[in-house]
Amino acid sequence: MSSARYDFDMPETVRSVCNSLSTAGERAYLVGGSLRDLLSGRPPVDWDLATTATPKRIMEIFSRVVPTGIDHGTVTVLMGDDALEVTTLRGDGAYTDGRHPDSVEFIKDIEEDLARRDFTINAMAWEPEERILHDPFGGRDDLTARLLRAVGDPVARFTEDGLRVMRAARFAATLDFDIEKGTLEAMPAATPKLVLVSVERRRDELLKTLKARAPSRGLLIMKEFGMFDRLIDEVHNLEDGQDESEPGAWKRTVRRVDFCPAQNALRLAALLLDAIPRPRKPFASLRLDRKTHKKASRLLNIGKIDYQSDWTNARIRRFLYETGADIAMDIITLWKADLRVADTNFGAADELLDRVKSAMSSGDPLAAKDLRVDGDDMMTDLDLEPGPHLGNLLERLLSHVIDHPEDNEKSKLIEIARGML
Ligand code: ATP
Ligand code: MG
């Protein structure tokens, strides 16, 4: 079972890096998620290479190398416009802090390197030169059985590195796999170690989970084992509920997340839409990038929509003005996901989506930039001084033309503004 011959297509750059390593007398292997994805017929996201060459040797073999994580044996080889991570085979020393090995040792034996990896499906290696698949832990069989199984003793492996329980939940969702019984049973004891792991690494696992077609599978495990602690604590206030006939707020929440398209901001907002009390600083502990944080917080603040079919077109324009045209589609998408969870007629959301699209393409004014006057016109025609009152006046004019788009003409606007002074 441990070695069989396989052929896989690899991009030219990856093949060329492997060839150069072989020519230099080293061995090169495709490992990790890229091999797992190839074996299960998915296109790999990125290509993980492992080699017997030490980082120093890799830097001699290739002309352009960035020492990305050189202490752990990872460097980035640059070729043309491509960048490829290449990691030296290594064995991990003891883990005393629950998150990093105390030391790493560069080794020559691929099977020893595979033994330090987390799950059997991630602990295989393929050698392009020999076309051999190294599979010492039965990863291929677990891929077929759609099972996530720890390499070696699950309790020991989970307690070494607290992040692995969260990775288990993440892979369960992204691959839609079951967690093997012994592996699952080892998880609760290790979960307290998770808080020792940096917020950034835990956040990245959560965000990868949210990219799954249906994140619910991973999210349910995460909440059950307390993995949201000191990440998104509010999730723990959402009730589990009794059963399917009476789903609690948490069950509704994960279904809502599944119904949202796979965008981080949307799915994060979906996660806290029912949180009571509404968090004052949502997502603060996650240390998200500014753009995602801002968007997720705005979506959550706007919350649910009270749209009815009898809304006038002016009411639709006001909705767009108040929510912001840039986020309106997403807020309706979130609302639609929420309606679907409640099994309510979500046709209302599609109708609103259509009406918002027509309002946006109608040319009717929706934002200050659509007004036929600007601050300069105000100063010239109304003899006003520069200052914040100009912005204020424009805002009031906009509010007027939202209801009366026919008044969006320069002379009319100047007259209306005069009446507002
Ligand atoms: P992805 O598709 O998200 O890239 P991946 O399996 O490649 O999934 P990475 O985080 O890129 O995940 O890690 C690459 C490989 O390194 C994994 O497949 C696994 O073999 C090993 N690995 C990563 N993190 C850990 C960890 N915390 N403990 C043990 N092995 C790990
Ligand atoms: Mg990877």
Residue list, ligand 1 pocket, CB within 6 Å: 32-33, 45, 48, 117-118, 122-123, 161, 163-164, 167, 208
State residue 172 phi and psi, 5-degree precision: -55, -40
Percent pLDDT > 90 in the chain is: 82
At 73-97, the pLDDT tens digits run 999 999 988 999 999 999 988 888 8
CB-based contact 341:374 (threshold 8 Å): no
d(CA 73, CA 123): 17
Q: Which two tokens stand for residue 253?
A: 């929440």
Q: Which of 85, 122, 126 to mutate for ligand 1's pocket (most ligand atoms within 8 Å of CB)?
A: 122
What is the 3-class SS of 313-366, one letter each residue?
Answer: HHHHHHHHHHHCHHHHHHHHHHHHHHHHHCCCCCHHHHHHHHHHHHHHHCCCCC
| Nearest atom within ligand 1 for CA of residue 34 | 7
Instruction: Tell me which of 48, 121, 201, 203 to substitute to probe ligand 1's pocket, judged by most ligand atoms within 8 Å of the beta carbon.
Output: 48
CB count, 10 Å around CB of 53? 25
pLDDT tens across 296-334, in order? 999 999 988 999 999 999 999 999 999 998 999 999 999
45 CA closest ligand 1 atom index? 2
Ligand in closest contact with the CA of 32: 1
Nearest CA to ligand 1 atom 28: 118
CA distance linking residue 262 with residue 210, whole number of Å: 7
β-pairing, 147-148 vs 178-179, is parallel
Cis status, amide bond into 277, omega within 30 of 0: yes
Which of the ligands is closest to the CA of residue 122?
A: 1
Return all residues near 410 (Cβ < 8 A) that are at least 6 apart.
372, 373, 377
User: Which residue from 110, 117, 174 has its CB within 8 A of the most atoms of ligand 1, so it is best to mutate?
Assistant: 117
* Model pLDDT for residues 222-274, shown as the tens digit of each residue: 999 999 999 999 998 898 876 666 778 999 999 999 999 999 999 999 999 99
By the 8 A CB rule, do 49 and 29 touch?
A: yes
Question: Rounded to an integer, what distance in angstroms lies between the CA atom of residue 29 and that of residue 128?
Answer: 7
With contact defined as beta carbons under 8 Å apart, do 286 and 264 qualify? no
pLDDT of amino acid 188: 93
Atom number, ligand 1, closest to the C-alpha of residue 33 = 7
Q: What is residue 360's predicted lDDT score, i.e. its pLDDT? A: 93
- Please tell me the distance between residue 46's alpha carbon and the centre of ligand 2 in angstroms: 6
Q: Is 220 helix (H, G, I), strand (E, B) or coil?
A: helix
From the CA of 85, how far away is ligand 2's center (Å)? Answer: 10
For the chain, the average pLDDT equals 93
Q: What is the pLDDT of residues 91-143, one digit of tens each?
A: 988 888 888 888 889 999 999 999 999 999 999 999 998 899 999 999 999 99
Q: What is the pLDDT of residue 243?
A: 67
Residues 6+ away with beta carbon under 8 Å from 394: 368, 371, 373, 374, 375, 378
Ligand number, closest to the Cα atom of 163: 1
Residue nearest to atom 7 of ligand 1 (CA): 33
User: What is the number of the ligand 1 atom nearest to the C-alpha of 208?
Assistant: 3
Of 124, 129, 128, which is closest to residue 110 (Cα–Cα)? 124
Which of 100, 118, 196 has most ligand 1 atoms within 8 Å of CB, for mutation?
Answer: 118
Record the tokens describing residue 290, joined without a space. 């500014």
CA dist 134 and 1 (Å) reads: 9
**Which tens digits make up the pLDDT trace of 145-177?**
999 999 999 999 999 999 999 999 999 999 999
Tokens of 130: 């020999």
Distance between CA atoms of 317 and 314, rounded to whole angstroms? 5
Q: Virtual CA dihedral for 13, 14, 19, 22, nearest 10 degrees?
A: 150
Q: Ligand 1 centroid to 25 CA: how many Å?
A: 27
Which ligand minimizes its atom distance to the CA of 166?
Answer: 1
Report how far ligand 1's centroid is from the alpha carbon of 49 (Å): 12
Kindly identify the ligand whose nearest atom is closest to the C-alpha of 171. 1
* Cα 320 to Cα 314: distance, rounded to the nearest angstrom: 10
pLDDT attached to residue 299? 96
**What is the distance between the alpha carbons of residues 390 and 372, in angstroms, rounded to a whole number?**
14
User: Residues 100-121, buried b or exposed e (16+ Cβ, 10 A)?
Assistant: bbeebebbeebbebbebbbbbb
How close is the Cα of 162 to the center of ligand 1, in Å?
14
CA distance to 50, 211, 237, 276, 284, per residue, from 227 (Å): 31, 18, 14, 19, 16
